[in-house]
Amino acid sequence: MRLCGLCDPCAGDGEDLARGVPRFADWGALLAAAAPDLAIIASPTRTHFALARQALEAGVHTFVEKPIVTRRREFDCLCRIAAARGCRLMAGHVERYNPVAIKLRDLLAAGGVAAAGYRFHRSQPHDARIPDDIVVDKAVHDADLAQFLFLFGKFWENFGVCPLNFLGVCPLNFLNLAS
């Protein structure tokens, strides 16, 4: 794999001298000039739809950090474009690839561990530089991980998020597994 370009709208065009990688201020210019096979979109959530749409329309396989978008109609649109262009569209739910999560899923699948529910407390501070709230930025990983660990292709019937407390703790409760 070769890094063919970076896009940072605040940095301007040019070359990253430390790595010799072309840098672009405009996403469309990167797509046209660098012609990547794969795009990785790691930007504020509010920009995901437009950037992913441009990449998919250019025929580029696209990995978007979670969440891909926050509106169902935008997700459906991206899926239609990906299918029409023969592109893959993937969400950056990276926690499911953590070796601990993989081992736990294997134990659960084999019946080595029993669990009737899942509760996760996220207690790390929310980075003020990230414009999304903690549910969009962090808890979406927990919801995905819970589905990965317990549902094996099914979906949650009941999913609750409690409000953030003064310590920045965002408890998630998953109950009533759908069969």
Domain residue limits, the chain: 6-94, 114-177
In order along its 179 residues, the chain shows pLDDT tens digits of 788 888 887 765 556 655 778 888 899 999 999 999 999 998 888 899 999 999 999 999 999 988 888 888 999 999 999 999 999 999 887 788 889 888 888 888 888 777 666 666 666 666 666 666 666 666 777 777 777 777 765 555 444 444 443 334 444 444 434 44
Q: What is the pTM of this model?
A: 0.69
Which pair of structure tokens corresponds to residue 106?
Answer: 């294997």
Q: Name the CATH code of domain 6-94 (choices 3.40.50.720, 3.40.50.300, 3.40.50.9100, 2.120.10.30).
A: 3.40.50.720
Q: How far apart are CA 57 and CA 165, in angstroms?
A: 42
Residue given tokens 């979109």 in the structure block: 41
61 SS3 class: strand
